[in-house]
Amino acid sequence: MKRIALVVSLMVFTGIVVVGESNAATRNLVEGKDYEIMSPKGSKQREVLEFFSYACAACYTMENVVDDFKKKNPDIKVIPVPTDLGHSQWEVYVKAYYLGKMLKVLDQSHPKIFHMIHVQKKHLVSEDDLKKFFIGLGIEQAKIESALSSFTLNSSIRRGKQLMRSFRVSGTPTFVANKRYKLNNQSVPLKDIPQALADLTQLEK
């Protein structure tokens, strides 16, 4: 089995939520326990797919970890993949991410949506809510409506669902390094996730 040096402490995700952490001894990250090989061959470039949902409290918690990872690993591309995990009522949040990207306001919309849901306890439930939200960011309604009905949006949603199926994503957040190694968040402590992801991207392709 492939092993990667890693400091271990207790953490449990429930769909996936952190509930605890302890001071523990050093052990190795173990294939089949801490990460799973999802395909025989990975991507050529170092990258991490981040499957998330705005509706997921653990994803909101994970944002600081992801931001820290990006700052410390500028050579590793992080690709967010919004997912509804099969919940039709969450598809509005998938659209929210891609709209922010298409309308070139993702740096504003991404943190604001997380804050709105998990701090202000307000939710997006319809396309009218999406329109109001992006109008509030200064985007013209006509541009929002055009993006909502676009081929680009629909193809992005389909691609995300395809990736979710390919990597058997059943909870969020889920990370896949180099389109090959899926990290087990239930086994790896929150504070060690950045290093684990960086190490996984350096495994042989």
State mean pLDDT over 4-21. 37
Distance separating alpha carbons of residues 168 and 100, to the nearest angstrom? 26
CA nearest neighbour of 145 among 156, 134, 137:
134
Q: What is the mean pLDDT of residues 6-34?
A: 48
Residue located via tokens 């271990």? 8
pLDDT at 14 over 60: no
- Among 93-102, 150-159, 180-189, the least confident range: 180-189
**Mean local confidence (pLDDT), 32-53:** 94
pLDDT, position 22:
34
Token pair for 111: 């943190």
Q: What is the three-class DSSP state of 48?
A: strand
Q: How many CA atoms lie within 13 Å of 26's alpha carbon, on the beta-carbon side?
A: 4
pLDDT higher than threshold 80 for residue 21: no
Given a cut of 80, whether residue 99 has pLDDT beyond it is: yes
Residues 179-203: tens digit of each pLDDT: 999 999 889 888 899 999 999 998 8
DSSP string for 55-93: T-HHHHHHHHHHHHHHHH-TTSEEEEEE--TT-GGGHHH
User: Residue 26 — pLDDT band, cuts 50, 70, 90?
Assistant: very low
For the cut 70, the answer to whether the pLDDT of residue 108 exceeds it is: yes
**20-29, 52-61, 101-110: least confidently modelled range:** 20-29
CB-side neighbour CA atoms (13 Å) of 93: 28
Asked whether the predicted pLDDT for residue 205 surpasses 90, the reply is: no
Q: Considering only CA atoms, which of 40, 4, 26, 21 is closest in space to residue 183?
A: 4
* Number of Cβ within a 10 Å radius of residue 183: 21
Q: What is the pLDDT of residue 30?
A: 85
Q: DSSP state, 16?
A: S
Question: Could you please report the per-residue DSSP string of 150-184?
Answer: -HHHHHHHHHHHHHHHHTT--SSSEEEETTTEEE-
Output 97 or 202, whichever has higher pLDDT. 97
Render pLDDT for 115-143 as a digit per residue (tens, 0 to 9): 999 999 999 999 999 999 999 999 999 99
Domains of the chain, earliest start first: 3-200 (3.40.30.10)
